[in-house]
């Protein structure tokens, strides 16, 4: 396996030979899933289905919920256009990440290590670890809130219980990578069904919903709306997802020829685009439910997940609305846990070539997230933990440019990508998106820290 991997890398120039990695990304799963060489395109595509859904999880994690809920309660359906634009940006960036992995045989972390000097690479690793810890923090908080809402558990107990999910991750990893993908898809389906129920109960006005997807000039002229819009944009593209996608596409045993890679890129694009479209629908559903219930009832200050849960029952006329809302939140937190674990393993191995047992890596990451959550919960209660959730999104925003810029730079380099280097129009669009995301994230960080 490793010989084929090294031969694949040796075909491409432009990497630092003295820092080239000696083993593939996620070696225990690398090229472990066979792609049929005969049969229809549909059969081959289905063999590629999975990585896109694991990536899509990051676009519907608990960190996105607060901005969607607040946006819907304050401004109705208007910010649906921002969710749509954010998702279109994400689709392009995830396409680039998947293409990097398929063409070069390197994930984004390995590519950074093989291109930049050791001090730069080490700095990028530290920043990425902070982002993954912030992601895990949001998952801990989301799962703890869901357990509190469903079972009445004190938040501090819910935070501690989340440490147990290490056992779940280990069990699924032991059963193979496809088991992880299937579990993730089942949880995404659970989230989708739950919000489908809430949408049915909320009875939104479809003409207003469709109008919400059309950009409105008020997005620019209304400072309050602009701030929430930036929050939605800032929380959408997750930096760890770019590292994750560039690695897990390599779990497929696709043909290493030029034609084989073209086919792999095509099916990868279908997979991630369909999965991210589902993420778009789920994020839209969160905002639509908020708009159809809270905004229409004149409740324009709902931004807390717990408040949203408590207010849904009287507004939709049944406790079912609140219950499925909390179940979806719990599924969201657990889903993000799995992908966060993999991303942590990928960046540690890719940037600094440190290999830990999966259970140890998972335990370290989770403990780093649990400690601040326990302290804040004990000292400040539910209000403090909501503030900590917002802070975790700011940390993610800070790291984003350090993942997006190298990704675009590598995929546009003909010495690294050969015939697969970005076309001019993709480069222009990608750099424009990167500039917009970075500027909006900087603005969001300044606003958050000075408010």
Q: Which pLDDT belongs to residue 410?
A: 97
Lowest mean pLDDT among 56-60, 90-94, 436-440: 436-440
Digit-coded pLDDT (tens) for 31-42: 888 888 888 889
Q: Tokens 């440190």 appear where?
A: 354
| DSSP 8-state secondary structure symbol assigned to residue 116 | S
Name the β-bridge partners of 252.
Answer: 33
Q: Which residue has the higher pLDDT, 151 or 9?
A: 151
The answer to whether 29 and 342 are in contact (CB under 8 A) is no
Residue 6: which pLDDT band, with cuts at 50, 70 and 90? very low
- Strand-pair partners of 34: 253
**8-state DSSP, 158:** H
| Confidence (pTM) | 0.89
Give the least confident one: 191-200, 268-277, 433-442: 433-442
Give the integer Cα–Cα distance in Å for 1 and 4.
Answer: 5
Torsion sign across C-alpha atoms 15, 16, 21, 22: positive
Domains (range + CATH), the chain: 62-450 (1.20.1740.10)
Q: Residue 356: how many CB atoms within 10 A of its CB?
A: 14
Give the whole-angstrom CA distance, residue 148 versus residue 139. 14
Contact 396, 134 (CB under 8 A): yes
Token reading at 104: 């070069």
Tens of pLDDT, residue by residue over 220-274, are 788 788 878 877 776 677 788 999 999 999 999 999 999 999 999 999 999 999 9
CA-to-CA separations, 285 to 74, 135, 209, in angstroms, rounded:
16, 22, 10
């Amino acid at each position: 396996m490793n010989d084929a991997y090294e031969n694949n890398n040796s075909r491409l120039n432009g990497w630092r030979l003295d820092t080239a990695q000696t083993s593939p990304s996620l070696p225990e799963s690398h090229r472990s899933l066979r792609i049929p060489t005969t049969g229809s395109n549909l059969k081959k595509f289905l063999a590629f289905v999975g990585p896109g859904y694991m990536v899509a999880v990051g676009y519907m994690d608990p960190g996105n919920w607060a901005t969607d809920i607040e946006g819907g309660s304050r401004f109705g359906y208007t910010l649906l256009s921002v969710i749509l634009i954010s998702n279109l940006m994400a689709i392009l960036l995830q396409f680039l990440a998947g293409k990097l992995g398929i063409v070069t045989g390197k994930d984004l972390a390995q590519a950074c290590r093989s291109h930049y000097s050791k001090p730069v690479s080490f700095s990028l690793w530290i920043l990425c670890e902070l982002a993954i810890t912030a992601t895990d923090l949001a998952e801990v908080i989301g799962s703890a809130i869901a357990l509190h809402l469903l079972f009445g558990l004190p938040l501090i107990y819910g935070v501690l219980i989340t440490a147990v999910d290490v056992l779940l991750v280990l069990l699924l990893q032991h059963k193979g990578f496809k088991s992880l993908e299937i579990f993730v898809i089942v949880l995404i389906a659970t989230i989708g069904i739950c919000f489908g129920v809430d949408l049915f109960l909320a009875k939104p006005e479809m003409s207003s919903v469709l109008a919400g997807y059309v950009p409105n000039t008020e997005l620019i002229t209304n400072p309050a709306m602009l701030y929430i819009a930036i929050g939605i944009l800032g929380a959408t593209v997750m930096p760890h997802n770019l590292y994750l996608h560039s690695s897990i596409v390599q779990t497929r045993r696709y043909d290493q020829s030029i034609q084989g890679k073209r086919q792999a890129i095509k099916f990868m694009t279908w997979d991630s685009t369909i999965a991210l479209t589902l993420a778009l629908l789920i994020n839209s559903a969160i905002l639509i439910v908020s708009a159809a219930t809270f905004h229409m009832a004149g409740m324009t200050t709902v931004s807390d997940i717990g408040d949203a849960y408590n207010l849904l029952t009287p507004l939709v006329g049944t406790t079912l609305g609140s219950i499925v809302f909390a179940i979806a939140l719990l599924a969201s937190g657990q889903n993000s846990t799995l992908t966060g674990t993999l991303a942590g393993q990928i960046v540690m191995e890719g940037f600094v070539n440190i290999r830990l047992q999966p259970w140890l890596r998972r335990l370290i990451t989770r403990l780093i997230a649990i400690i601040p959550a326990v302290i804040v919960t004990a000292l400040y209660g539910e209000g403090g933990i909501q503030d900590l959730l917002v802070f975790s999104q700011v940390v993610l925003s800070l790291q984003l440019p350090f993942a997006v810029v190298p990704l675009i730079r590598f995929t546009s380099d003909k010495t690294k990508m050969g015939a697969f280097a970005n076309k001019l129009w993709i480069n222009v669009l990608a750099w424009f998106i990167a500039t917009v995301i970075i500027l909006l994230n900087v603005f969001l960080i300044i606003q958050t820290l000075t408010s």
